[in-house]
Chains A and B, each alone.
Chain A
Amino acid sequence: MSTKGKVTGIVSNLVTVAVDGPVAENELCYINLGGTQLLAEVIKVTGDKVSVQVFESTRGLKNGDSVEFLGKMLEATLGPGLLSGIYDGLQNNLTTMTGVFLKRGEYTDPLDRTALWEFTPIAQPGDKVVAADWLGEVKEGWLPHKIMVPFAFQGEFTVKEIVPAGSYTVDQTIAVLTDKDGEDVPVTMTQKWPVKVAIKGFKEKPRPRKIMETGVRVIDTFNPIAEGGTGFIPGPFGCGKTVLQHAIAKQGDADVIVMAACGERANEVVEIFTEFPELVDPHTGRKLMERTTIICNTSNMPVAAREASVYTAMTICEYYRAMGLKCLLLADSTSRWAQALREMSNRMEELPGQDAFPVDLSAIISNFYARAGMVVLNNGQTGAVTFIGTVSPAGGNLKEPVTESTKKAARCFYALEQNRADQKRYPAVNPIDSYSKYLEYPEIQEFLQEKIDKQWVEKVLRAKNLVRRGREMADQINILGDDGVPMSYHEAFWKSELIDFAFLQQDAFDAVDALCPLERQEYILDLILGICDKQFEFDNFEQCRSFFKELINTLRQMNYSEFRSPQFNQYEQQLRNQLS
């Protein structure tokens, strides 16, 4: 007999319920509003009074309305068909909903129950298997989607039967496993998993050892993110957070990309599902949508589901990681999720922490970032979840709880700077303040030396140093005046401008410049460092300025040209003429 209750109080989407039996923290319930079932989650229990956050608008709800508890937490439904899906924060399929407006209490199935999948067995009868071991495979579009022993299964099982290759729906039994007590358990192609619990089922979680290419120069060269790494992008509004994140989504070298639009603008999601079915994945030539799943809980959708949306997205990533795939999770923005926590904490009249955020904010954020990572599966293969979140600091001030808590948890920091954005120096990533801890990892250094160049890390550090030095020179010039400093100051300043304009800045809306593969990044960086190594003789700073401006112009024209095309070579020749 499930626990039942009655509504006793309502403040916005926080509802208190008097219950007649046991309830669990985070347990789900349905509140009956005149026949419409509103999904809600338990967030606090005091005696027989339970506080629940409702995932829908509570307009029209009355004290005394009945509540039924479901005996389970919020779960993601996992199985073939998730790829290319467009879901809300609770994993309702938005594409199968009727009507232009979202209707309260309309919950749609994440998976197509009637679709047939071409199943090929991997396991044999008699095999010993544990949770997350691969039983078979279906082709989900291009992707070899592994059907696994459900993550919730504990202990060792023996495969008793497995169906032959053929077409099956997700609900058909594809294998029967026997547990150690001789009990037979049927297995289908779908399983459920509570989103707030990390999916284990792998052997170990080593340190990342590769970098994930994004085609964005200021990331890949200056502050590379590791496959299975974590990073975050804080920045005031209007600094290009979303453009940068979309660039990473379009160009990131990953098998599966899950985009969690958490409390952000609906039109940004529209952009993704309008453009991604047309745009081509530069790594495979397939359409981008074929590797993308969208979880969207836009800012006008119910607040409580914002929190759920990032967890749902992470769970889907972990599911694909268990198939030995490289996944990339992009969440925009984690600040909205933190604000949702703040709204609830406030309504529950909890003692607030800094800026009225709940006191456990830091712990919640670091727990979430810890779910990313590269893993070695039970069969020795590897999979990865790389996570990049954006943070929207209030007033653009990075000394606020969400940014500070995230800085403790994430290994890469891409600080977007208002000043650079004002000058249209995009991407507005501050080259000095930003960092990647991965550049210090010996494993990553070794990888870079092997993949790009023996001296690569030194080169990157040298370029960073030139930029830093140029900034100092700019300060001196501003204080002492153009004529008050030696010519070498001007030269150092313009060398840093050269790196800034020709390398760090990148036009995300230019068909060619938007994507810069590592090979091309290396070529351009070598070219630029070659120029910076030269000592020039200038009569006056005007001459210095116009000389470098001409160089910058030529290098930018190169950036706009196809790599090694006749046009590219022609500009390069022009550059050499300018230098001699």
Chain B
Amino acid sequence: MATKAFQRTYTQLQAITKATVTLNARGVSNDELATVNGRLAQVVKTKGDSVTLQVFSGTEGVPTNAEVSFHGAPPTLRVSEQLSGRFFNAYGRPIDGGPEVEGEEREVGGPSVNPFKRRQPSQLIPTGIAGIDLNNTLVSGQKIPFFADPDQPYNQVMADVALRADVDKIILGGMGLSNDDYLFFRHAFESAGALDKIVSFVNTTEEPPVERLLIPDMALAAAEYFAVDKNEKVLVLLTDMTLYADALSIVSNRMDQIPSKDSMPGSLYSDLAKIYEKAVQLPDGGSITIIAVTTLNDGDITHAIPDNTGYITEGQLFLRADPDSGKVIVDPFRSLSRLKQLVQGKKTREDHSQVMNAGVRLYADAQNAKTKLENGFDLSDYDLRCLDYAKEYATRILSIDVNITIEQMLDTAWEIFAKYFSPAETGIRQALVDKYWKA
């Protein structure tokens, strides 16, 4: 950022850590930006005249006589229709070779929507993936992460979901994306011909980790511009939030804060909530939906990052490899969309929720049968039918490569039920059985 004439400049640092510098300065305001030897930094602590700055790109090579100038304002983003189709770095500067965006300069990480002014989310977001649409229906204004091990194809699934979803804008916030994944997204968006409705803010693994902390705020500031000012339906993709949280813990560690569970900062819940709660259905029709990725360590959802995330988001989509069908499936037990009942049976067919519950219950019975099999016990006739059912259910419903309408999903489910079970075994309400059972 260019140095302006009125900026105050200091040249004496008191302390340097890997992520922060401390100096004596006056008249500094909390959260304001500064430049340390040309690197962007932000005020995180003041104590008397001593000011601590978080340096986004790290402090390697910063000398004690580094030139520090304060900008007098927190991080901002220039917003206008010109954002569409562009790729930016964590500071909101173009990385696609295009010109700077002209528009109104807005603070990022701004205030929350008054809960009373929110509307109840009620618009279905179909994705074609039955493991999502049938069992874990998404709704606009929702916030939901994929929980996946690093070897799962979460970025591909997310790109599929984004491109199939009926939205006006897609905003990608990439944190610690590998260069390959960055190029994958770019290619996927370009080849879908959807580039003009996509805005991307990307921090790759080649860039310093602390810079990532700016990505969600930048992406959501752009989202708020389109949702609030333009009344558009905006879908925000955030990947990978685990790397974002890791960056938070680096900074809090350098500031000598006492860590809580899993060496994460004690404020992790509030920090994540500030991001996810930007998801909103606005009174004038605009909405922000957030789909994120939280990578797990060997499926462990009790780690502080997925755990806190799960308490904030409206459900989670759990990807895992299913050995029986040989597919990557949306796990029906650990996945959940908390808003699904707002659309199931209301925007979809009346049998939706009962079919969903029966399908999952029978799949659970199949897991019990599998346990029995593994323990070397004889299987009953019912157990055997359950196992066959589970394989077909996983292949035709749960697999992430399914792409059909919700009506087709329901019909498929009824068809599979009838193939393996009696109506009573499904426990579905009689009136629905009478209407939909495929004898």
Contact = CB atoms under 8 A, between A and B. Distances in A.
Interface of A: 8-12, 16, 57-64, 86, 94-95, 97, 99-104, 236-238, 242, 263, 265-267, 269-271, 273-274, 296, 298-301, 303, 336, 339-340, 342-343, 346-347, 349, 352, 355-356, 392, 394-397, 422-424, 478, 481-484, 509, 541-542, 545-546, 549-550, 552-553, 556-557, 560
Contacts of B361: 423-424
B310 A86 contact: no
Interface string B343-354: 000000000010
A301 B111 CA distance: 8
B382 A100 contact: no
Nearest to B308: A394
Contact of B282 (A100, A267, A484): A100
Contacts of B163: none
Given A238-B336, A396-B302, A94 B114 contact: yes
B116 interface: yes
Contacts of B115: 86, 94, 266, 269-270, 296, 298, 301
Which residue among B31, B111, B261 has the maximum number of chain A CB atoms within 10 Å of its CB? B111
B283 interface: yes
A560 B107 CA distance: 53
Contact of A63 (B28, B118, B269): B28
Contacts of B113: 100-102, 266
Q: Top 6 nearest A-B pairs by Cβ distance?
A: A395-B302, A300-B277, A299-B273, A481-B377, A237-B310, A356-B260
A422 B338 CA distance: 14
A269 B111 CA distance: 18
Interface in B340-389: 341, 353, 357, 360-361, 364, 371-372, 375-378, 380-382
Contact of A545 (B26, B269, B377, B382): B382
A271 B30 contact: no
Report which residue of B26, B107, B113, B278 has the largest number of chain A beta carbons within 10 angstroms of its beta carbon: B113
A382 B316 CA distance: 45
B277 A481 contact: no
Interface stretch (B44-52, B80-88, B182-190, B205-213): B44-52
A543 B207 CA distance: 65
B74 A59 contact: yes
Interface in B298-318: 301-304, 307-308, 310-312, 314-316
A346 B266 CA distance: 7
Contact of B267 (A12, A301, A349): A12
Given A478-B371, A557-B429, A392 B311 contact: yes
A299 B270 contact: yes
Nearest to B383: A482
Interface string B101-136: 000000101111111111111000000000000000
B427 interface: yes
B100 interface: no
B121 A267 contact: yes
Nearest to A508: B341
A374 B141 CA distance: 41
A481 B378 contact: yes
Contacts of A342: 260, 266
19 contacts: A60-B30, A62-B29, A63-B49, A86-B115, A99-B117, A267-B121, A274-B120, A339-B266, A346-B257, A346-B258, A356-B259, A394-B307, A422-B333, A424-B360, A424-B364, A509-B341, A509-B353, A542-B381, A556-B427
A58 B429 contact: no
B301 to A, nearest CB: 8
A298 B281 CA distance: 15
A299 B275 CA distance: 10
Given A63-B26, A542-B380, A100 B429 contact: no
Nearest to A299: B273
B31 A59 contact: yes
B364 A422 contact: yes
Contacts of A298: 112, 115, 277
Contacts of B111: 57, 101-104
Contacts of A102: 111-114
B228 interface: yes
B230 interface: no
